[in-house]
Structures are given as structure tokens and as C-alpha cells.
Amino acid sequence: MKMEAVTGYINKNEKNFVEELKEFLRIPSISTNLENKSDVRKCAEYVSGQMEKIGLENVKIFETPGHPIVYGEYLKAGKDKPTVLVYGHYDVQPVDPLNLWTTPPFEPDIRGDNIYARGSADDKGQVFIHFKSIQSHLEINKTLPVNVKVLIEGEEEIGSINLDKFIEDNKEMLKCDYVVVSDTSMFDHEVPSICYGLRGLAYMQVEVTGPNRDLHSGSFGGAVDNPVNALARIICKLKDEKGKILIDGFYDDVLNLTPKEREEYSKLPFDEKKYMKGLEVDELFGEEGYTTLERASARPTLDCNGIWGGFQGEGAKTVLPSKAGAKISMRLVPNQDPQKIEKLFTDFVKKISPKSVKVEVKSLHGGNGAITPLDSPAMDAAVEAMKKGFGKTPLFTREGGSIPVVNSFQTLLNAPVILLGFGLPDENAHSPDEHLNLKNFQRGILSIAHYLNELSKIKK
Ligand code: BES
Ligand code: ZN
């Protein structure tokens, strides 16, 4: 393939690609909000329009019980060429707290090297990297170096609840030699890296009910248990002060880091002081015996994501509330089974709950972690592509976030997955002022264009 002409086209169109990306970023495709349901659909339609525009064929919007899945393909590279499945998501996280955004989340704004908008890094910008790489190849060479299938879903941020069934129902359509996912971050600015591990997740909700109605805390306080206090006592018993999770059996299936892995981790250029400074915290907190990088990517966690109950308004109200609740999620490491962990969590919470309140435990969603092998032809091709796109040899890292479908691709399609992401850890994914570095957007397009070409060199 004539790569020079392709990279020339990419460089020439740098500004146009960014302008086009803005249109994608303007659609408020928040998958968890019911009121955004039609926006999510509009976004699926936008994605399918883009797929057609760049030259993919058989583009189709698939309905699910939730948000639509968009699929397109280009299979004219030749039967002797490998087939690559590209996966990404067009849904985004909610935008609250809105007042902390410098510019509105769905009005993309370029400041310095970055484009600011919800979804810019996670994951619309990264999906667009693939679209523009494919477009560039097709414009210049009128074909692609490999056969490509593109699957973009709208429910990743809510646990990809309908995707496994879709994959199972469409195994033939999705059959491929490799899967590539750009939905992770690189290690740091100017430190390109390839992610080879993700954590899983078990997301729970605990609801505590005390008396049948809110009570005057003067008349009843001291005699009747307070659900907010009871919930706080329960939460405190889930994890000790050294960061160890106390749920019976929680660590049973944890795959420990190998000495070799720990050695590799220790070589990563991580500046703990800078990390703390960036977060404005005076001390870090985590499981004893592990480094910060290990804690944040290769060890399981338990965190309260939200908590409610009682009077939240301004001023004071003397009330003994009837109800309280909390959302508690656990990041899991590969080999920990989310369903098993859900059960262990539920049993443990029931065991430690006081009789003075009623406690209900619900599971919201979960997903498996994943590890991808480092020594595979597809990984070698990824390293080569990153070298060409970034001018530097990439490092290997594991990340603490979750992409549930990665494990499903490995098990249901039996295909190796390569996590070739172009975000940065400080781009505020899931928080106000999310942004994407435009230099990495450009280098990402170049890297993926090279990746398709590198993959075509692998013998089938
Ligand atoms: N892009 C992230 C996954 C990610 C985050 C990878 C950080 C590497 C580092 C993805 O969109 C995401 O946020 N996933 C959710 C999945 C969950 C809802 C099942 C997550 O990790 O919270
Ligand atoms: Zn994402």
C-alpha cells in the first residue's frame, strides 16, 4: 500500500477532520439519561451516516432493547487478507456538575492543543480516529489493506448490557482475525503506550430502610436506628484502614502480579509527587504493599460512588430519615468473576447489617476484566504502527478502567483484542472539562492508518 500518499492525505486534512469531529461531539448521547434517548438515536444515525460517507458498506443500525448498535464493513481487501473488527462507543457519560465546565459540554471548544467536549476522549474522538484512517486509505488507494468490520455501540457507559447477546446472535457477521479497540489512554503526554490489561466491574446498590416514615430526631433519636448511620457503619466494614477489602472470599480468585510484571511496572516513568500535585491531595490511599500504579490498575478496589439519605438542603433540619442508600462499585482484576463477587458482596452486607434496619442489595451491572497477550503478531504490528504514528517506541501498561466487551470478544469470537488507545489520563474522562489532545488525535489517525497496513503483512 502507498502509505506516503495516505499519511500525506491525513496531514493535509488535519483541520477538516477536527471540524468534522465537532459535529459528532455536539450530540448529547448520554446513554444513562432517559431524557436523552432520542439524542442517543440521533447519534447512532450520525455514526451510520459517517460510516457511509467514509466508504463502508452494508451499514446498518441494529435495534436492541436499549440503544442501537451501528455496524458497517469493507470486505474487498481480498480473501487472503486478515479481517479486523474495530469496536468503539458513541455514548457518553452524564455531564454533571455542569457548573464546573469552562465551556458547555456539547459545544466543542478548542483551547490550546485540546478540544473540550463530553465524549472528546471517551470515546467519540477515538472512534473518529478510526473513521478518518479508513477514509484516508479509501480516498487514496480505493481499497483497504485489510478487511474491516466496524461495530460502534451506544451502551458502553452503562455496562454494554445488550452487546453480548448481539455478538452471540451475529457471530458470523462479526467473525474476524483481530479486534482493535481505541478506548483507553496512553501513559502520559509524549509517552505513547499500549494497554494490555483492563479491570472488570461489579456495581451494586444498597438501600437501607429504618422506620416507616421520617421522624422528629428529638422525639425518636436515640431510640430508633438511623438508616444513614446504619449505612455508614455497613460501608465502614467493607474495607479496612489499610485499603484491604474485608468481604469474605473477595480475594480468592485474584491473579497476583508476577515478579516480572512488578519489575516492568517499576520501570514506568511515574512521578508520584506530580500525580499528587495534579490532584491536590496531600497523601495517597490504597492497599498496603502495592505501588500506586499497581493499586490503580492491577489490584481490585471497592468504592462508594454515591450516597444519599436525609436532609440535603441548605441549613439544618432535625430529622431521623426513613431511608438511605449508596452506590458501591468494585473494580475487579482478570479472573475475578463479577457474578461471584456480586453474591459475596450481597451475602457479606446481609451478614453485617444490623437487625434494626431493613437492607436491600441490588446489582446494577458488571463486567469481566481482560488481559491481552504481549507476544502476538497483532501486538507486534501495533508497536510498529505506534512507532510510525508517534515516532517513539510505545511502552506497555495495564489500566484500571473497564471495557466489558473486551472479554466477550476474546471468549465469544475467540479473537485477540488489541487495545490501541490515544487518550491521556488527565483528559478528564467522566468529569467536567473532558478534552482530547489534538496532536494525539492526529497521531492516532496516522497510527491506525499504519496499523491497518501493518496487519496486512501478517500471513493468514
Ligand atoms: N473508556 C473507558 C474505559 C477505560 C477507562 C479504559 C479508563 C482505561 C482507563 C470506558 O468508556 C468506561 O468508562 N467504561 C466504564 C465501564 C463500566 C460502565 C462497565 C468504566 O470503566 O467505568
Ligand atoms: Zn470509553
Instruction: Please give the tally of structural domains in the chain.
Output: 2
Q: In this predicted model, what pLDDT tens digit does every residue of 444-460 receive, in sequence order?
A: 999 999 999 999 999 87
CA 117–ligand 2 middle distance (angstroms): 14
Q: In this predicted model, what pLDDT tens digit does every residue of 308-339 receive, in sequence order?
A: 999 999 999 999 999 999 999 999 999 999 99
Say what the pLDDT of residue 285 is: 98
Give the residue from 367, 389, 423 where a domain finishes.
Answer: 367
Residue 251 is placed in which grid cell? 480475594
Q: Are residues 411 and 266 in the same domain?
A: no
DSSP states of 83-145 as a string? EEEEEEE--B----SGGG-SS-TTS-EEETTEEESTTTTTTHHHHHHHHHHHHHHHHHHSS-S
Residue 332 makes CB contacts below 8 A (sequence gap 6+) with: 199, 200, 201, 202, 300, 338, 341, 368, 369
Low-confidence ranges of the chain (pLDDT < 50): none
Domain harbouring 70, CATH code:
3.40.630.10
Say what the pLDDT of residue 381 is: 98
Say what the pLDDT of residue 347 is: 98
Give the residue from 340, 367, 394 where a domain finishes.
Answer: 367
Q: In this predicted model, what pLDDT tens digit does every residue of 3-44 receive, in sequence order?
A: 999 999 999 999 999 999 999 999 999 999 999 999 999 999
Cβ count near 101 (within 10 Å): 21
Q: Are residues 168 and 219 in the same domain?
A: no
Q: Are residues 325 and 251 in the same domain?
A: yes
Say what the pLDDT of residue 2 is: 80
Say what the pLDDT of residue 460 is: 72
CA 122–ligand 2 middle distance (angstroms): 4
Q: Are residues 276 and 400 in the same domain?
A: no
What residues make up the domain containing 258? 201-282+299-367
Q: Are residues 206 and 337 in the same domain?
A: yes
Cβ atoms of 182 and 129 within 8 Å: the answer is yes
Q: Are residues 239 and 276 in the same domain?
A: yes
Q: Is 360 a catalytic residue?
A: no
Cβ atoms of 362 and 265 within 8 Å: the answer is no
**400 located within any domain:** yes
Residues within a 6 A CB radius of ligand 1: 122-123, 156-157, 159, 183-185, 201, 367, 399, 401-404
Q: Are residues 154 and 205 in the same domain?
A: no
**129 located within any domain:** yes
Q: Are residues 157 and 261 in the same domain?
A: no
Residue 320, strand partner residues: 215
One-letter amino acid at 358 equals K
CA 183–ligand 2 middle distance (angstroms): 5
Residue 347 is placed in which grid cell? 451475602
Q: Are residues 11 and 88 in the same domain?
A: yes
Number of C-alpha atoms within 13 angstroms, CB side, residue 250? 21
Q: Are residues 189 and 40 in the same domain?
A: yes
One-letter amino acid at 279 equals L
**288 located within any domain:** no
List the Cα angle 9/14/15 in 5-degree steps. 130
Say what the pLDDT of residue 71 is: 98
Cβ count near 325 (within 10 Å): 18
Give the residue from 329, 344, 367 where a domain finishes.
Answer: 367
Q: Are residues 432 and 419 in the same domain?
A: yes
Q: In this predicted model, what pLDDT tens digit does every residue of 344-389 receive, in sequence order?
A: 999 999 999 999 999 999 999 899 999 999 999 999 999 999 999 9
Q: How far apart are CA 91 and CA 30, in angstroms?
A: 6
**392 located within any domain:** yes
Q: Are residues 362 and 373 in the same domain?
A: no
Say what the pLDDT of residue 459 is: 81
